[in-house]
Structure 1
Amino acid sequence: MESAEYHSALAALAWQIELGADECIADTPVDRYAVPAAVAKPVAPDSPGKVAVAPMPVQDRFDPVAVAQEAADAAQTLDELRTALGAFQHCELKRGARNLVFSDGVAGARVMIVGEAPGRDEDMQGKPFVGRAGQLLDKMLAAIGLSRGENVYITNVLPWRPPQNRDPKPEEIAMMQPFLNRHIALAAPDVLMVMGNHSCQALLGKRGITRLRGDWTQAQGRQALPMFHPAYLLRNPAAKREAWADLLSLQARLRDG
Structure 2
Amino acid sequence: MDTRPPLSPEDAHALLDWYAAMGVDAAIEEEGQDRFAEVAARRAAAAPPPAPEPALRRPGPPAEALDGPERTAAAARAAASGAETLDELRAILERFDGCALKATASRTVFSDGTPGARLMLVGEAPGRDEDLSGLPFVGRSGQLLDRMLAAIGIDRASAYIANVIPWRPPGNRTPTPQELETCLPFIRRQIALADPDVLVTLGGPAAQSLFQTKEGILRLRGRWLDYDTGRRRIRALATLHPAYLLRQPGQKAFAWRDFKAVRRALDGG
Structure 1 runs (4+) greater than 6 angstroms displaced: none
Match of 1:231 in 2: 243
Equivalence for 2:86? 78
Work out whether residues 129 and 135 of structure 1, in 8 Å CA contact, stay in contact via their aligned partners in 2.
yes
Partner of 2:252: 240
Cα deviation 1:195-247 (Å, max 9, x = unaligned): 11110111111230001111111223321110000000000000001111111
Residue 60 of structure 1 deviates from its aligned partner by 5.3
Aligned partner (choices 175, 187, 197) of residue 168 of structure 1:
175
Does the CA-based 8 Å contact 1:168-1:198 persist in structure 2? no
Residue 183 (1) aligns with residue 190 (2)? yes
1:213 is the counterpart of 2:221: yes
If you compute each CA radius of gyration, which structure gives the higher value, 1 or 2? 1
* Partner of residue 193, structure 1: 200
Secondary structure of the 1:101 match is coil
Counterpart-to-counterpart distance in 2, 1:169 and 1:115: 15
2:56 corresponding residue in structure 1: none
1:68 aligns with 2:76: yes
**Which secondary structure does the structure 2 equivalent of 1:192 belong to?**
strand
2:135 corresponds to which of 127, 130, 139: 127
Query: Residue 178 of structure 1: SS of its match in structure 2?
Result: helix
Q: 1:91 to 1:255 in 2, by over 3 A?
A: same
Q: Which amino acid aligns with 2:145?
A: L
Where do 5+ consecutive residues of structure 2 fail to align?
A: 1-62
Task: Report the equivalent of 1:159.
Answer: 166
User: C-alpha root-mean-square deviation of aligned residues, in Å?
Assistant: 1.3
TM-score by length of 2: 0.72
Q: TM-score, normalised by structure 1?
A: 0.75
State the distance in 2 between where 1:80 and 1:152 align: 20
Partner residue, 2:21: none
Q: Distance in 2 between matches of 1:174 and 1:158?
A: 10
Cα distance between partner residues in 2 of 1:231 and 1:199 = 13
- In the other structure, the counterpart of 1:114 is 122
The separation in 2 between residues aligned to 1:142 and 1:123, in whole angstroms, is: 24
Gaps of 5+ in 1: 1-57
Contact 1:118 1:161 in 2 (8 A): yes
Q: Which structure 2 residues correspond to residues 136-155 of structure 1 after superposition, within 5 A?
A: 136-149=144-157, 151-155=158-162
Secondary structure of 2:237 counterpart: strand
Q: Distance in 1 between matches of 2:75 and 2:177?
A: 17
Distance 2:97 2:151 in 1: 40
SS at match of 1:117: coil
**CA distance in 2 between partners of 1:180 and 1:66 (Å):** 15
Letter of the structure 1 residue corresponding to residue 142 of structure 2 = G
- The answer to whether the 8 Å contact 1:197/1:209 transfers is yes
Task: Judge conservation of contact 1:99–1:123 (CA < 8 Å) in 2.
Answer: yes
Q: Deviation string for 1:161-190 (max 9, x for gaps)?
A: 001101111111110111111101100001
**Hey, what's the Cα distance between the residues in 1 that align with 2:135 and 2:82?**
24
CA contact (8 A) 1:117 1:156 kept: yes
Mapped contact 1:98–1:123 kept (Cα < 8 A): yes
- The equivalent residue for 2:267 is 255
Give 1:59 deviation, angstroms. Answer: 5.7
